Amino acid sequence: MSRVEQAIQRAQDAGRSAFVGYLPVGFPDLETSIQAAIALAENGVDIIELGPPYSDPVMDGAIIQEATTKALAAGFRMADLFTAIRAITAATDVPVLVMTYWNPVMQYGIDRYADDLLAAGGAGLITPDITPDAAGEWIAASERTGLDRVFLAAPTSSDERLDLVVKSSTGFVYTVSTMGITGERTELDRAARTLVGRLRAHGAHRACVGIGISTAEQIAGVSEYADGAIVGTALVRALRDGGVPALAEVTRTLASGTSSARPDHEN
């Protein structure tokens, strides 16, 4: 198993679901973003998801867009991503996935990106805006380097698309809870539970649900049927409003939701 798969398995062995926490790199500055990611690992996050700022974040909600805009204005460069990953992985064994739009990877060079990510200690990529059938070069690079490739499945995905996503993904399948941009929602769509069931039917062993999860209660609900919950906006807000101490407190609170029901399926 990959490091990401091992992290999910360790959570399951402990009788809980996995907690995946997202933060943008470089917000509010590079060093603070590094300390913030380490704080996630120290307070209950099983997998860290880092988002390099991007000038056209079509999937990001207002709070994450605000943060990434500030990081770009402060002078974020791609090299900063690998600097951050090296520092984080030196301080913690929690695997670090990069959540990135595809254009920056293409501009950097797919093989070069994979090699630099591996050298920095990264675990793989989550790629929200490229589908497996268009990602042949990345699939080849990830197989060469052993990096995980996490593709997205949406409630609107056809059975054929889900089959392709399941067969092409490693680590886990990023299960989109609802259509639209990231952000907090007071009630998760029922579509998430149905989508995870469909993914299981297509052979998915690990499915983590993201988009709109912001409370321990929502994490507990997701834990009834999925292998993990992905939280972004609530963590970014905590960092923005109260710095690393507030982020650590919110992370601990959210992590308490993972120890509820466990998925009723074979892993």
For residue 204, tell me if it sits in a domain: yes
pTM recorded for the entire structure: 0.92
Residue 183 predicted with pLDDT over 90: no
Q: Mean pLDDT of all residues in the chain?
A: 91
Which run of H or of E encompasses 19? strand 18-24
For the chain, give the number of residues. Answer: 267
The neighbouring-strand residues paired with 176 are 210
pLDDT of residue 54: 82
Per residue in 207-219, pLDDT (tens digit) is 999 988 899 999 9
CB count in 10 Å sphere of residue 91: 14
Strands 18-24 and 47-51: parallel
Q: Are strands 96-99 and 173-176 parallel, antiparallel or unpaired?
A: unpaired
- pLDDT grade, residue 62 (50/70/90)? confident
pLDDT interval class at 266 (50, 70, 90): very low
More confident residue, 107 or 260: 107
Cα separation, 18 vs 40, whole angstroms: 13
Q: Which residues are catalytic, by number?
A: 49, 60
Q: Is the pLDDT of residue 178 over 80?
A: no
Asked whether residue 96 is domain-assigned, the answer is yes
* Sole residue written with tokens 């593709």: 151
Give the pairing of strands 18-24 and 124-126.
unpaired
CATH code of residue 138: 3.20.20.70
Span of 71-80, 177-186, 234-243 with lowest mean pLDDT: 177-186
Q: Is residue 263 part of a domain?
A: no
pLDDT at site 61: 74
Residue 266 lies in a domain: no
Strand partners, 122: none
Residue 47 lies in a domain: yes
Q: Which domain holds residue 99?
A: 3-258
| 3-state secondary structure (DSSP) of residue 176 | strand
Q: Where do runs of H (alpha helix) occur along the chain?
A: 3-13, 30-42, 62-73, 78-91, 102-108, 110-120, 136-145, 159-168, 191-201, 216-223, 233-255
* Total domains present in the chain: 1
What integer pLDDT is reported at residue 133 of this predicted model? 96
Domain presence at residue 77: yes
Residue 70 has, within 13 A of its CA and on its CB side, a CA count of: 15
Residue 265 lies in a domain: no
pLDDT digits (tens, 9 = 90+) for 69-124: 999 999 999 999 999 999 999 999 999 999 999 999 999 999 999 999 999 999 99
Q: Could you tell me if residue 267 is inside a domain?
A: no
State yes or no: pLDDT of 186 exceeds 90. Answer: no
